[in-house]
Amino acid sequence: MAASASPVPPSAIVARLRAAGCVFAEDEARLLIAAASTPADLAAMVDRRAAGLPLEHVVGWAEFCGLRIAVDPGVFVPRRRSEFLVREAAGLARRAARPGPPAVILDLCCGSGALGAALAAVLEQAKLYAADIDPAAVRCARRNLAARGGRVYEGDLYQPLPSRLRGRVDILIANVPYVPTGAVRTLPPEARLHEARQALDGGPDGLDMLRRVAAEAPLWLAPGGHLLTETSERQARPATEAFALGGLAARVVSSADQNATVIIGTKPPGCVRRDEPAGRPSFSAT
């Protein structure tokens, strides 16, 4: 919808958004005008945004790593800082690339599927799997990953995944919730009121889900495979300890520009857990 087609001057939309506390009111006004199909649609969208709904829920998509990711109401909105995690994962995948079957990527706590979609987009070949416990997120992720041949499962962490993936995952990305329960109330209303609580609340110290992911990761990772998860700088030390308890060699990488902290855990080559069959090929999945 062109700005001239709106019965309300763009300047009036900007003023309405700015009064509602939108810091980037001019940019948001342009997006809303472009997304609206009719003047009535635009008016309704401006009303929803001014009422506090995330812009991404209003327009139905978020920009992430240069991709347009569909984001339905209630689904966790991918944060731009998580692009750092994707870049780190892509670098690891490229360095490990070798002739043979494509790399196997698993996106746990996938939400909209943004991280998995972005990682698959930069790799020449990859088999992509994802899972989330939230039915709304699963529906959204299936739309976002369908074009990349991704398979999305609904359930708690590893529980819904096919057993054939055990010992075959090369890159496991898990953007787990890591906000301590007591701090959820301090989040911006856009997140606190309009995103699923289970996508935000990481338990008393914010690391409950991270510990669960790290504990089982060696069973699913191929030898030499990597687990990457985002956390806060303050949580980095206990997070690396959780990785080590799971049998992973852990290190911390960070980006000051994006205010991002990522823990990378690597399963040692040749490492086989007692509950993991030996002799398993490490770089294939069907």
pLDDT digit string, tens, across residues 160-191: 999 999 999 999 999 999 999 999 999 999 89
Domain regions of the chain by residue span? 3-51, 80-266
Q: Looking at the predicted structure, is the pLDDT value of residue 3 above 60?
A: no
Q: Is 52 helix (H, G, I), strand (E, B) or coil?
A: coil
Tokens of 156: 């708690």
Per-residue pLDDT of 135-149, as tens digits, reads 999 999 999 999 889
In the predicted structure, residue 266 carries a pLDDT above the cut 50: yes
Instruction: Give the mean pLDDT of the chain.
Output: 90
Binned at pLDDT 50, 70 and 90, residue 1 comes out as low
Tens digit of each residue's pLDDT (9 = 90 or more) over 202-230: 999 999 999 999 999 999 999 999 999 99
Residue 223: the pLDDT is: 95
CATH number for the 80-266 domain, one of 3.40.718.10, 3.40.50.970, 3.40.50.150, 3.40.50.720? 3.40.50.150
- pLDDT band at residue 272 using 50, 70 and 90 as cut-offs: low
Q: In terms of Cα–Cα distance, which of 149, 153, 169 is closest to 93?
A: 169
Nearest to 228 by CA among 27, 79, 84, 74: 84
Residues 161, 172: Cα–Cα separation, whole Å: 13
How far apart are the C-alpha atoms of 150 and 286, rounded to whole Å?
12
Contact (CB, 8 A) for 150 and 123:
no
Query: How far is Cα 46 from Cα 62, in angstroms, rounded to an integer?
Result: 17
How confident is the model over 33-48, as pLDDT tens digits?
999 989 999 999 999 9
